[in-house]
Amino acid sequence: MAFYSGQTSIGTAATVIDGVLLNHYGGNPYKMHIKNNDNTDAVFLGGADVTVSNGYRLDKLEALDLVVTATDLLYAVSVKTGHVISWLTEPV
């Protein structure tokens, strides 16, 4: 079983959490565990058009588990630059 992990710095523009995961899982779905590492602000998740007004809110220090299809990209955005989230993936 292959696990992949990392951290992504989020800013005020929608940012792909990790665009290389498609290559790791060969088009197969995988589990993604996402944690908002920031202790003051929420991060917002969604598609390429995600904003702080329409995204799924992940509050400070909260985590979320998703099953993601490898051909889909998950984006995040914040009210500030330098907002760090961490992620861990595993095959389904």
The verdict on pTM exceeding 0.85 is yes
The answer to whether 50 and 42 have CB atoms below 8 angstroms apart is no
Q: What is the pLDDT of residue 53?
A: 98
Share of the chain above pLDDT 90, in %: 70
Q: What is the pLDDT of residue 69?
A: 81
* Residue type present at position 9: S
Residue 43 phi, psi (nearest 5): -120, 155
The answer to whether 8 and 89 have CB atoms below 8 angstroms apart is no
Give, in order, the Cα–Cα distances in Å from 10 to each of 42, 57, 88.
11, 14, 16
pLDDT tens sequence across 43-65:
999 999 999 999 999 999 999 99
- Residues of the chain short of pLDDT 50, as ranges, are none
